[in-house]
Amino acid sequence: MKLNELKDKRILIFGFGREGRDTFKFLRKLFPGKKIGIADRSNEVKKPDRNTMLHLGKNYLAAIGKYDTVVKSPGIPFKILPRSAVKKIITQTEIFFNNCRGRIIGVTGTKGKSTTAALIYRILKDGKVKVHLAGNIGKPVLNLLFSDTPRNVYVYELSSHQLYNLRKSPHVAVFLNVYPEHLDYYKSFKEYANAKANICLWQTENDYLIYNSQNEIVKNIAKKSKAEKIQIKGEYYELDTAAARAVARIFKIPDRIINKSIKKFKHLPHRLELVGTFKGITFYNDALATIPEATISAINKLGDKVETIILGGFDRNIDFRKLAEKVLVSKIKTMIFFPTTGEKIWKTIVRQNKKKKGFNRFFVNNMEEAIRLAYQHTGKGKICLLSTASASFGIFKDYKEKGDLFKKYVKKYGCGKKI
């Protein structure tokens, strides 16, 4: 939707979190005196100005019928919306794609998109490109339109929620992987994968698609794109570098700048982050590993020194059989489980443990207890890995809180507190 089409619309902002607030600021700059509605399940939203109408609490969905256009935030699943509402729903991503004059580099994947987007941004910036980092990892995008020019380049980290129903693809699409995830949000894994596919389905012959040819789902989706295709390969933790190199070469960044940028790039926290060695034990924080594939990759990366692993969290109906197989052939001796999937993962391991391999296993309800046990049951020279293969919600607010608590108690018990 073009911006001039919004002028005479009755607009509702649906969801007033980080992106919803950015949408409001953008629309208020465009239309200073316009009546704008805000709908949110929380009753804590404060009225931003006198020209705002609030629709809060358990009946917030009912507000949709009163408006011509609904700007939906990514965190609200389409599946909870009345069918009649879907036709008039737009998103920040759609508005940005339809009004941006610069070039967009879109990055998606079940895992790895934040690091990849950050690395692409770093290389292009070092290469003197007029680049902006946007989306989940950077700034919400709409207010960037006020300073937009054809020279601008936007590295846009795109989740499946932002890609859902999108009918326009970026000039450069980076498609890393697709694994079962967010199955509590979507009706099925197929619907989730279809949302991801929009990163490249609407590309033209003048566009580029950089894709992981080792991921079967990605490879099959890539066949449907009209863009010039560039294959990347590598282990899970190598794809970000491969993708960033491919993007940099499209923008004609010299190899010497690419190599220098990669060398000095600081990896993002909570992604196989080395916390340190304490009392002879090395601790890694992989709090963002919320699916089994990520945890399997972490075990592969760190190798046989992984002796203790912390697993479990919010249940999104994910299958843990491949993870169980990996654990059973690894050198892991101690497993510490959080609810609710901790019990599910353990039962899966027990079912597949044909050789009756022995483990220390513990079920805990907080991070401090998990770390206390890790110090007691991990040998010197070995690794304790936090890589839960499950979403963080439940015991923890999010993956950041989980990872920060891990680091806090590792250092607390590692620097003198009695175990």
Q: Read off the pLDDT of residues 285-343 as tens digits, 9 standing for 90 and up.
A: 999 999 999 999 999 999 999 999 999 999 998 999 999 999 999 999 999 999 999 99
Averaged over 394-407, what is the pLDDT? 96
Which CATH number do you get for residue 108?
3.40.1190.10
pLDDT at position 401? 97
In a domain, 226, yes or no: yes
Residues 181 and 40 in one domain: no
Residues 204 and 240 in one domain: yes
In a domain, 366, yes or no: yes
Residues 280 and 399 in one domain: yes
Token look-up 């007029």 returns 130
In a domain, 1, yes or no: no
Backbone phi, then psi, for 193, in 5-degree steps? Answer: -65, -40
Residue 345 has pLDDT above 80, yes or no: yes
Q: Out of 96-100, 255-259, 332-336, 412-416, pick the least confident.
A: 412-416
Q: How far, in Å, CA of 291 to CA of 309, rounded? A: 14
Q: How far, in Å, CA of 76 to CA of 195, rounded? A: 14
Which CATH number do you get for residue 334?
3.90.190.20
Provide the token pair at 67: 């408006």
Side chain identity, residue 151: R
Residue 83 has pLDDT above 80, yes or no: no
Residues 173 and 237 in one domain: yes
Residue 263 has pLDDT above 90, yes or no: yes
In a domain, 419, yes or no: no
Of the three residues 238, 264, 290, the one that is the final residue of a domain is 264
* DSSP sequence for 200-257: TTT--TTSEEEEETTSHHHHHHHTT--SEEEEE---GGGHHHHHHHHHHHHTT--HHH
Quote the pTM value. 0.92
pLDDT at position 391? 94
End-to-end Cα separation, the chain, in angstroms: 59
Report the chain's mean pLDDT, rounded to a whole number: 95
Residues 15 and 137 in one domain: no
Residues 104-149: tens digit of each pLDDT:
999 999 999 999 999 999 999 999 999 999 987 767 899 999 999 9
Residues 143-195: tens digit of each pLDDT:
999 999 999 999 999 999 999 999 999 999 999 999 998 888 888 999 999 99
Residues 46-64: tens digit of each pLDDT:
999 999 999 999 999 999 9
pLDDT at position 419? 72
What range defines the domain where residue 386 resides? 273-414
Averaged over 4-22, what is the pLDDT? 94
- C-alpha count within 13 angstroms, C-beta hemisphere, residue 157: 21
Provide the token pair at 235: 């282990």
Paired with 133 in beta bridges are 155
Distances (CA, A) of 141 to 154, 293, 370, 416: 9, 30, 39, 46
pLDDT at position 417? 73
Residues 43 and 141 in one domain: no
Residues 308 and 396 in one domain: yes
Residues in the chain: 419
pLDDT at position 87? 73
Residues 145 and 235 in one domain: yes
Q: How far, in Å, CA of 52 to CA of 35, rounded? A: 6
Residues 179 and 42 in one domain: no
Averaged over 342-361, what is the pLDDT? 96
Residues 205 and 307 in one domain: no
In a domain, 355, yes or no: yes
Residues 70 and 139 in one domain: no
User: What total number of domains does the chain contain?
Assistant: 3
Percent of the chain past pLDDT 90, that is, above it, reads 87
Residue 84 has pLDDT above 80, yes or no: no
Q: How far, in Å, CA of 208 to CA of 164, rounded? A: 20
Of the three residues 56, 87, 118, the one that is the final residue of a domain is 87
In a domain, 2, yes or no: no
Residues 208-236: tens digit of each pLDDT:
999 999 999 999 999 999 999 999 998 77
Residues 216 and 192 in one domain: yes
CB 211 within 8 A of CB 230: yes
Token look-up 């909870």 returns 80
In a domain, 80, yes or no: yes
Which CATH number do you get for residue 30?
3.40.50.720
pLDDT at position 81? 83
Distance of CA 401 to the CA centre of its chain: 15
Of the three residues 70, 87, 104, the one that is the final residue of a domain is 87
All residues at 6 or more sequence positions from 242 whose CB lies less than 8 Å from its CB, including other chains: 232, 233, 234
Paired with 360 in beta bridges are 334
* DSSP sequence for 159-204: -HHHHTT-----SEEEE----S--TTTSS-HHHHHHHHHTTTTT--
pLDDT at position 11? 97
Averaged over 394-406, what is the pLDDT? 96
pLDDT at position 181? 87
Q: Tell me whether residue 279 is exposed, middle or buried, using C-beta atoms within 10 angstroms of its C-beta: 0 to 12, 13 to 18, 19 or more.
A: exposed
In a domain, 249, yes or no: yes
| DSSP code of residue 352 | H
